[in-house]
Amino acid sequence: MDTFDLQQQAENSISLSSQLKSLRGILGARSTLPSPPSDKARIPAGPMPSLQLPNLETLQDLTDVFFKEMNTLLPVLNQNEAIPRITRTLNALGYNGQTGMVSSSVEHAVFLGMIFWILAIADTEAPDVRDESARLGWNWFQQGQQLSKYFGPMKVGDSDRVGYYTLGATYLLRLELLSHASAYIMQAWNAATVTGMNDQRSWPTASHSATLARQKMWWALYYLDTHVARRRGRPYLIRDSEVAVAEFVPQLSMVSKYNTPEHNPVHEYPLSIGESSSREMEFNQTSLNFARIWKQIWDTLFSARLGRYAHAQDVEILDARIIFLERITPSALKWRDQNVLSLGESEIFVRRRLLCQLVRPPFPRCLQLLSPQPSLY
């Protein structure tokens, strides 16, 4: 339309120009939603642009929010290694703590993109009151996505690319952009297979801390794939037959030790706990177990080949697996009603209180529900 200047005659014609105009209206302007970055694109010529980070105080606050509120539930990054690396990277790029301006370079493009997406994810948890029409963290996300044009080829043993796409999917999940989150998960899975992250036997020799961080990142991607697929009602992507990575607590694993032809399956070689607490390891293993049980539910009840023809015995086996998962889940991770009853609170009151805690800020209706009024029951 713009090239051949057909806009004027399109108003009075049903010719090709009119059809082009109609098609243009259907497609619309360039979508504001994110498209998954491509690793095959060539690095643009010329200097990389300067980027805008928050000032040092805000940067520290958002980073702290990310590692305390978000990374605990989905441990994509190891805080003890990520924080010093963020400091080194920003210093190398000439970060200005007052203005927030920072240069960019091809060498640090991937990790700098991860920093932007850490800020974007943390921004969704920040308690600031903002315009509801604006997506929280969108500015940080767009700048992190812009850096994908400067990524070089992936290398075996490099985990940054996997972390980049996994963090991007986490942010999109926070915004309920599930189809776009799935596209980023596919990119993360592709990066994981190219760099060998899905096979622990190909990992480079490293310290315990670095190996544990790689392990956590892999299983975070695994869980995220299942979680987004469940939310969308779509098939999951990562198949267990393509995974050979040690689990956190093999004694609590849902994987049968007799399903593998190997004499010593990889999940029988646990990584030592080291810096992580046993409670953290149990939480990570339980999250992995729930992801795995959902995959079994999908394969049994919803898959294209077997979902419509599930036999009663298959459902009974699935029920037994769910009961087994409930039995092996550590008691510290279970909801304990006896503690609630000891406080003299009814179950319905506790559930209402929990609902109000999940809704921020506390609306007057929640405050009304929390007040002890017998008429509410």
Q: What is the pLDDT of residues 76-122, one digit of tens each?
A: 999 989 999 999 999 999 999 999 999 988 999 999 999 999 999 99
Does 296 fall in a domain?
Answer: yes
How much of the chain, in percent, has pLDDT values that exceed 90?
46
> Which helix or strand (DSSP H or E) is residue 102 part of?
strand 101-102
Residues 25, 83: Cα–Cα separation, whole Å: 46
Q: Under a CB-based contact definition with an 8 Å cutoff, are residues 195 and 158 in contact?
A: yes
17 and 46 assigned to the same domain:
no
pLDDT tens track for 301-356:
888 887 677 788 888 888 999 999 989 998 888 776 544 444 455 556 666 656 65
Based on the fold, state whether residues 95 and 181 are members of the same structural domain: yes
Q: What would the DSSP string read from start to end of 16-68? A: HHHHHHHHHHHH-SS-SS-----TTSPPPSSPPPPEEPPPHHHHHHHHHHIII
Tell whether 11 and 132 lie within a shared domain.
Answer: no
Quick check: pTM over 0.85? no
At 145, is the pLDDT very low, low, confident or very high (cuts 50, 70, 90)?
very high
Q: Is the pLDDT of residue 226 over 80?
A: yes
Give the model's pLDDT for residue 266: 42
Domain that includes residue 303, residue range: 246-334
**Backbone conformation region of residue 100, classed left if phi is above 0, alpha if psi is from -120 to 50, else beta:** left
Q: Where are the beta strands (DSSP E) in 157-316?
A: none
Average pLDDT rounded to a whole number, residues 262-268: 41
Give me the phi and psi of 159, to 5 degrees please: -100, -10
Give the total number of structural domains in the chain.
4
Q: Is residue 241 part of a domain?
A: no
- 21 and 95 assigned to the same domain: no
**Pairing assessment for the beta strands 51-52 and 101-102 based on DSSP bridges:** antiparallel
Could you tell me if 146 and 189 lie in one domain? Answer: yes
> What does the alpha-carbon distance between residue 181 and residue 188 come to, in Å, rounded to a whole number?
10
Residue at 288 is within a domain: yes
pLDDT at 275 exceeding the cut of 60? no
Q: For residue 199, give the 3-state DSSP assignment.
A: strand
Helix (H) / strand (E) containing 101 = strand 101-102
Same-domain check for residues 116 and 129: yes
Q: Give me the pLDDT at residue 182, please.
A: 97
In a domain, 349, yes or no: yes
Is 237 contained in some domain?
no
Does one domain contain both 91 and 178? yes
Query: Which phi and psi (to 5°) does residue 140 adopt?
Result: -65, -40
36: preceding bond cis by omega (within 30 degrees): no
200 and 163 assigned to the same domain: yes
Average pLDDT, the chain: 78
Contacts of 260 (CB under 8 A, 6+ apart): none
The tokens describing 220, both together, are: 């975070």
Residues 151-173 have a mean pLDDT of: 93
- pLDDT tens digits for range 192-217: 999 999 999 999 888 888 899 999 99
Answer yes or no: do 15 and 124 share one domain. Answer: no
For residue 238, tell me if it sits in a domain.
no
* Separation CA 162–CA 184 (nearest Å): 10
Q: d(Cα 72, Cα 70) in Å, to the nearest integer?
A: 5
Alpha carbons 326 and 60: distance in angstroms, whole number: 39
- The C-alpha atoms of residue 183 and residue 123 are separated, in whole angstroms, by 22
pLDDT, mean of residues 143-166: 92
pLDDT at 358: 55
- Per-residue pLDDT for 3 more than 50? no
The confidence score (pLDDT) of residue 295 equals 93
Of 181, 78, 192, 39, the closest CA to residue 120 belongs to 181
Query: In this model, does residue 377 exceed pLDDT 90?
Result: no
Using alpha carbons only, how large is the chain's radius of gyration in Å? 24
Question: Is residue 93 domain-shared with residue 227, that is, in the same domain?
Answer: yes
The first and second tokens of residue 369, run together, are 């529900």
> Can you list the alpha helix ranges (DSSP code H) found in the chain?
7-10, 16-27, 56-65, 79-92, 109-123, 138-146, 160-174, 178-195, 208-232, 278-297, 312-328, 337-342, 347-358, 364-370
Higher pLDDT, 282 or 360: 282
Residue 239 belongs to some domain of the structure = no
Is residue 154 domain-shared with residue 177, that is, in the same domain? yes
Inside any domain, residue 72 = yes
**pLDDT at residue 184, rounded to an integer:** 97
My answer on whether 25 and 41 are in the same domain is no
By the 10 Å C-beta count (0-12 exposed, 13-18 middle, 19+ buried), 157 is classed as middle
